[in-house]
Amino acid sequence: MKKWTLALALGALSLTACKKDEDPNDGLKDEVVSNYCEIVYASYSDSHLKAQELQTAINNLVAGPSATTLEAAKTAWKAAREPYGQTEAFRFYDGPIDDADGPEGDLNAWPLDENYIDYVEDASGSIVNGGIIYDTASYPILSKELLASLNEQGGEKNISIGYHAIEFLLWGQDDLDVNVNPGQGGDRSYADFAGDIFAQRRAQYLQATTELLVEQLAELKAAWAVGASYRTTFEAMQEDVALAKILSGAAILSKSELAGERMFVALEANPADNPQEDEHSCFSDNTDRDIITNALGINNVLSGTYEDVNGQIIGDQEHSILALLRNLDEQKAANLETAMEEAMDKVNAIPTPFDKYVTQENVGDNGPIFQAITALQEQGDLLADAAVALGFTISTELPE
């Protein structure tokens, strides 16, 4: 009887001790991970849907080249970039998008050497025919498999497929004076898709790389579907391991990739070096939207919500990184929320077109582009601090 009474007493003491050390986020972490998976799946679903709509517009252009069908294809390309830009926050942790077999380099690689694909206009204004489209001897048939095999062959700027290859084929070379034609981008004619054998090959090329884009996005969507092998693996990870991946993707994008590679590199470039070559979507002058959607993707991850292309809100803020942090340190959560608002305000305040204003601002000027860069870097640092508060550490640097 005494032994039984002692056992009860020890049991009660153990329960009391457990309650004292209880993690306020116990049980919530799993729900945050699952909520994140829902956002990822919805984002790639939208990206796939909009890529399919782009494919339809491109097929219409090829079937009936005109100023109207070309403009419709351009509009569809910009619409396709909106959800995809937000998925960039799901990178940098060897997930399906950028593991050893991931398609990220096929989908979104840049900058692109135009002459690797098609004709260009040289400094004298002369047309130089070249690239894959004009090399009928080496590439008699322009299949998606061939184009995929040629991506980055012989150099990292030898981009043959993906969003930016499609962008170049729709807009053409961005060689207009940004001070005379601000925001116009390239001025390719619809006639480039009608007529001789090279126009036909250009159309075939455009359709092939778009088909590949749709297929690769379908694979990413499938990887994050409920019951899919990767999603099942991700949700089964030790909670802090999964959360570290989630925060790493957002932090690295914020501080190193977006603020650094996509903005600061162009800002610090000498105007004589043509910073247009360093902006993300130079042919369409859509770089401002790239920056905004990338920043919005970070917000989605931290707030636990995503607004899909139909205006429906996916996820909920109660199962978010911010909610986890708020349970541990309300001040740090408030600081992070302020930084998120500041970063979004600053990227939205960047004047357009980006390629014009990036040449009119210097690093030391503290202009709107530099202010946005600084806000994104500060946000990345606060994400690293949030990780420590949650019980683990992350890097804000790009993986080597």
Q: Report the C-alpha gap between 41 and 35 in whole angstroms.
A: 10
Domains and CATH numbers, the chain: 27-390 (1.20.1420.20)
Tokens of 232: 């099942």
Q: What is the pLDDT of residue 6?
A: 33
| Sign of the Cα pseudo-torsion (277, 283, 285, 287, in order) | negative
Q: Would you say the pTM of this structure is higher than 0.85?
A: yes
**Contact yes or no for 397/387 (Cβ under 8 A):** no
Tokens of 302: 């931290």
Among residues 171, 192, 193, 168, the alpha carbon closest in space to that of 183 is found at 171
**Residue 394: count of CB within 10 angstroms of its CB:** 24
Q: What is the pLDDT of residue 274?
A: 57
**Contact yes or no for 287/353 (Cβ under 8 A):** yes
Q: What is the pLDDT of residue 177?
A: 56
Low-confidence residues of the chain: pLDDT under 50: 1-20
**Contact yes or no for 149/132 (Cβ under 8 A):** no
